[in-house]
Amino acid sequence: MLLYLITFAVAIGFAFCSDLCQRQIAVAKRELAGRDLWNAVTAAKIGKNVFLLCSAAVLILLSGLRYDTGVDYYYSYVPSLETVRAGSASHYDPLFNFIIACFARLQDNQWFFAAMALYTVGMIYFGICRRSEYIAIPVALYLVSFNYLRSFCFVAQYVALATFFVGFTTLLKKKWIPAAILIVLAVLLHQSAIIVVPFVLMYFMRTRWMMVVSILLPVFALLGQGAVRVIFVMFGSGTRFDYYFGSEYDMGYVDNTLIFINFAVFAMFLFVYYMTQAYREHDRNLSFYMLAQSFALSFSLLQSVIPLGYRFVWFFMFLQCLSIPLFLKRMFSGAEYYVMNLVIIVLFLAWMIMYPLQGTSNVLPYHPIFDPMSSY
């Protein structure tokens, strides 16, 4: 864990330096003009991009140059590559099967994991930069919320999640066709991403109805668990997830901490939304973030009736790296804003360190590719 924490500190440090460069750009635009403005902004932009790339590179190297880390690494992805090399097909969804088939042509499995790390981290950073000029806080939330470490094991789902994340940010920019393409790609990469389709369609609802759904959805999730179970079994039969029904994976991996975290964040968002009278602004993007958190809480409550239900939670919970700073910004400013973000980051960090790493969530210890016999 110490190696992870050091890596996180370095990545966040580079992100913070990138933010300092962005602040220099803002100051230059206020105080300078003409050639001096162009020179100052150009230099600051170069520095910002260099620090941004360094921040992402640290994480890509750690997750890409690893060996035999995570349960799925050894028991799923490596056997899938070997299965394809033997002439059979892997058990994943269409697009990810194609990716595995491409990398199976290479003899070293490490190329696959390095490429997936590059794509996943790169897409996540790209999505963050599209929605926020200052990236240190979103990057910190991405790291301490266990998403980065979890991606060591759940490679396929996090490739799909990263694709959905960029699709989500594209949707907020009202670029409908690219957003639709990215959402479809996410579903083709991992079938669990189908759950985001009704969510993204709700973006076109009126903001008032969006808030009504946000409030009622967790209530229905709590009261209608039996009906949800019947519906999920009905539509899940005949898919590759049919394997999970009745097995140890059916309802054996319920993460109650996700319920507490998502309830706390949902309550905070509701408080901010009404205290700042955001409902009068009819801000579609803000309401959509609220809806995303409602989905996260609802699927947290449905874990006990959906096989591996926590996987659905991750798609919506991941958006907290953007939504938490956004909602806090409405209530606080200056030093107070940064203090509140720091408090939440520290709480997430404590949860990550104490997290029960069991079953398919076990991504520790870390084995570097250069020295596979040692662990950190």
User: Look-up: residue for tokens 């990236």?
Assistant: 135
User: Look-up: residue for tokens 């870390």?
Assistant: 366
Q: Which helix (H) or strand (E) holds 180?
A: helix 176-189
Give strand pairing partners of 368. Answer: 66
pLDDT, tens only, 110-159: 899 999 999 999 999 999 999 999 999 999 999 999 899 888 888 999 99
The number of C-alpha atoms within 13 Å of 368 and in the hemisphere containing its C-beta is: 8
Arithmetic mean of pLDDT, 258-284: 90
Q: What pLDDT is stored for residue 359 in this prediction?
A: 46
Distance, CA of 238 to chain centre: 28
pLDDT, tens only, 173-205: 999 999 999 999 999 999 889 999 999 999 999
3-state secondary structure (DSSP) of residue 59: helix
C-alpha 7/C-alpha 157 separation (Å) is 23
Contact between 147 and 123 under an 8 Å Cβ cutoff? The reply is no
Residue 357, Ramachandran bin (φ over 0: left; ψ between -120 and 50: alpha; else beta): beta
Q: How confident is the model at residue 361 (pLDDT cuts 50, 70, 90)?
A: low
Q: Which two tokens stand for residue 7?
A: 């890596």
On the question of pLDDT at 162 being above 50, the answer is yes
pLDDT, tens only, 10-50: 999 999 999 999 999 999 888 888 888 888 899 999 999 99
3-state secondary structure (DSSP) of residue 368: strand
Residue 134, Ramachandran bin (φ over 0: left; ψ between -120 and 50: alpha; else beta): beta
Instruction: Determine the number of helices (DSSP H) and then strands (DSSP E) in the chain.
Output: 18, 0
CA neighbor of 21 nearest in space, from 152, 153, 141, 129: 129
pTM to 2 decimal places: 0.92
The number of C-alpha atoms within 13 Å of 39 and in the hemisphere containing its C-beta is: 5
Q: How confident is the model at residue 243 (pLDDT cuts 50, 70, 90)?
A: low
Percentage of the residues of the chain whose pLDDT score is greater than 90: 59
C-alpha 273/C-alpha 113 separation (Å) is 41
The amino acid occupying position 355 is: Y
C-alpha 238/C-alpha 233 separation (Å) is 10
The string of DSSP letters for 154-170 reads -HHHHHHHHHHHHHHHH
